[in-house]
Copies of this chain bind each other. A is one copy, B any other.
Amino acid sequence: MASSILIKNVLLWGKERDIRIEGNRIVEISEPSSGDARSVEAEFVIDGRKKAAIPSLFNAHTHAAMTLFRGYADDLPLHEWLSEKIWPIEARLTEEDVYWGTRLACLEMTKTGTTFFNDMYWHWHGTARAVLESGLRAAISAVFVDFGDPTATEEQKRRNEQLFSAAREFAKRSDGRIIFALGPHAIYTVSEEALCWTRDFAEKNDLLVHIHLAETQAEVEECVKKHGKRPVEFLASLDFLNERVIAAHCVHLSRKEMEILRENDVKIVHNPASNMKLASGVMPYEEMKRAGLRKNILLGTDGCASNNNLDMFEEMKFASLLQKAHTGDPTAMPAHEAFEMATLNAARAFRVDAGEIAEGKLADLLLIDLNNESFVPTHNIISNIVFAANGNCVDTVICNGEILMQNRHVKGEEEVRERARAVVAKLFESDERGESEGVRKRESERVRG
């Protein structure tokens, strides 16, 4: 920190510019200087030629450490996937495992141009330590579940109060990059009592609240049966909804629920690849847009077990193409709307003063390699970003004024991959490992067969 960076002769929305960063802010955007007199004033000078500067991306819903389960259990029915594969292996995770899984996720996000993620997972400290060291920003919530058990409710309240305290130190040490959030998992795993406590604790401390909402038709049906209301109506009846609530998925919404979400300025995270892979349904984006929710909709990858990567470039393409296919209208969710979901809309939702490249904003930005074939030719750079590119077009990543990647190299990346592989080998070393190899062998036989 407190360093200065000068990016020279970079394309910013089609115009050649010099971008100057002091500390963690963009302080000046100007026409390129004629000489190189100015470059001596900056500690780091980056040659921006054949590169385009764009804001870095926000992954608004994920479970970062699930990188450890990438490809572990695919093509399965939802219930079997969760109860026979994901939950048993999650029960074995230690804080150290989550730390290395999240480091791997941070490495992957850095490599693919994401500098902020909104996380909900086990072992909060493991995640927070990984974010601290990776240089990224994150809103981190613990998984708050009580399944209606009052003892568990009390335990979770105390745990979240403790984490909230501990988080102050992490916020300080990370220059504000780490944000504590509450993470009531979902209406079917958290009691009414706990939801109300979450609402009040969040109100009192001005916290974001991260929840899964209306992800599957089964969730809606169960809620109607139990409460006589649909999920969003149920949360509204608890006075739970407001502008600090980040609701992931929202696949199954009535028109009335869209109205409620808009009235309360709730933020909604669309996860197209996960929804497609788990066959959860299609979020009705165009209807939600008509209901006035456009700027409330963010974009996320979900965890690696249901995607199976954290590439927000790919996610923008999935989002736009899914809406075109779903509505039968090729003009649905144009490229720039998908891009705004991953940048400006998210910056507002998470109260991060970034999401665009402008003087005074936080220095969270990417340099795109215009020699990447996805940018040849460049008729329209937003189209290329959303429809042609993937995260490998990113050459340089700057977050909070720090250079996290340059020329696609991230400091310490080899160690992160090695340690993550070691964690996986240990986690799956018993019977599970044999099974995993068995699957691989069967796959290989099928392919060769």
How many angstroms between the C-alpha atoms of A424 and B417 in the bound complex?
A: 41
Asked if A162 lies at the interface with its beta carbon under 8 angstroms from chain B, I say no
Q: Could you say which residues of chain B place their CB within 8 Å of the CB of A440? A: 13-14, 379-381
**How many angstroms between the C-alpha atoms of A111 and B373 in the bound complex?**
9
Assess whether B275 is in contact with A325, with CB atoms less than 8 Å apart. Answer: yes
A412 is an interface residue with CB less than 8 A from chain B: no
Q: Which residues of chain B have C-beta atoms less than 8 A from A169's C-beta?
A: none
Q: Which of B277, B317, B321, B436 contacts A380 (CB 8 A)?
A: B436
A304 within 8 A of B: yes
- In the complex the two chains form, is A387's CB within 8 Å of B307's CB? yes
Determine if A24 is an interface residue (Cβ-Cβ < 8 Å).
no
In the complex, A71 Cα to B322 Cα: how many Å? Answer: 18
Verify B78–A330 contact, CB threshold 8 A.
yes
Contacts of A309 in B (CB 8 A): 373-374, 387-389
**A377:B420 contact, CB within 8 angstroms:** yes
Q: What is the interface of chain A mostly: helix, strand, loop, or mixed?
A: helix
| 14 pairs, A vs B, C-beta closer than 8 Å | A13-B447, A14-B440, A69-B379, A70-B374, A70-B377, A70-B388, A71-B377, A71-B381, A74-B380, A77-B330, A318-B321, A322-B325, A373-B417, A377-B420
Copies of the chain in the assembly: 2
Q: Which residues of A291-347 have CB atoms within 8 Å of chain B's CB atoms?
A: 304, 307-309, 311, 314, 317-318, 320-322, 324-325, 327-332, 334-336, 339-340, 343-344
Indicate if A81 sits at the interface (CB-CB under 8 A). Answer: yes
Which B residue's beta carbon lies closest to that of A321? B276
For A274, the closest partner residue in chain B by CB is: B321
- A93 close to chain B: CB less than 8 A: no
Considering the chains assembled together, what is the distance between the CA atoms of A390 and B318 in angstroms? 14
Complex formed: what's the CA distance from A318 to B13 in Å?
29
State the A residues within 8 Å of B (CB): 13-14, 67-72, 74-78, 81, 104, 107-108, 111, 273, 275-279, 281-282, 304, 307-309, 311, 314, 317-318, 320-322, 324-325, 327-332, 334-336, 339-340, 343-344, 356, 358, 371, 373-374, 376-384, 387-390, 392, 414, 417, 420-421, 424, 428, 436-437, 439-441, 443-444, 446-448
Contacts of A380 in B (CB 8 A): 71-72, 74, 436, 439-440, 443
A373 cross-chain contacts in B, Cβ below 8 A? 67, 104, 107-108, 111, 309, 417
A400–B378 Cα gap in the complex (Å)? 33
- Taking CB atoms, residues of chain B closer than 8 Å to A78 are 330
Known: A104-B376, A356-B448, A387-B71. A277 touches B330 (CB 8 A): yes
